[in-house]
Amino acid sequence: MTRSQNKTRQTSASVDAFLAAIENERRREDARRVKSMMERITGWEPKMWGPSIVGFGEYHYRYDSGREGDFLVTGFSPRKKALTIYIMPGFTRYDALMVRLGKFKTGKSCLYINKLDDVDLSILEELIGSSVKYMVGKYGAT
């Protein structure tokens, strides 16, 4: 078993201070809205992961290769180019939600949104909630 440290780890930095320092007013307000949404959905306290990710919950993973580690269950990062929301199971199991979400792009586990006004917030909440439920069921995430 290989237990190596992830590059991105939970820190003791202040989430509120991080959000307050976001220069772009729209991005700052969207980030605060997503933080509130994720707090309500998960019931977990937000924590900083690395210098720029607000994460909720934690799970332990183990790959077939033997590599293992800990990571956030869901979270977001208010990047300059887009608001990035982390949907750790990926998106293939959520096709029915994704077609109704609105304007976005995706990576493997990243949902890129220019601004919250571009998406249906109730669908976003359902997507986040479903992904958290999946992660808790699969990994016993806390």
| Domain layout of the chain by residue ranges | 2-133
The per-residue pLDDT for 4 is 54
CATH number assigned to the domain covering 2-133: 3.90.1150.200
pLDDT in tens, 91-112: 999 999 999 999 999 999 999 9
| 105-133 mean pLDDT | 98
Q: What is the pLDDT of residue 65?
A: 86
Q: What is the mean pLDDT of the chain?
A: 94
* pLDDT tens figures, 40-76: 999 999 999 999 999 999 999 888 888 888 999 999 9
Cα-Cα-Cα-Cα dihedral sign, residues 25, 105, 116, 58: negative
Percent with pLDDT over 70 in the chain: 96
Output the pLDDT for position 67: 83
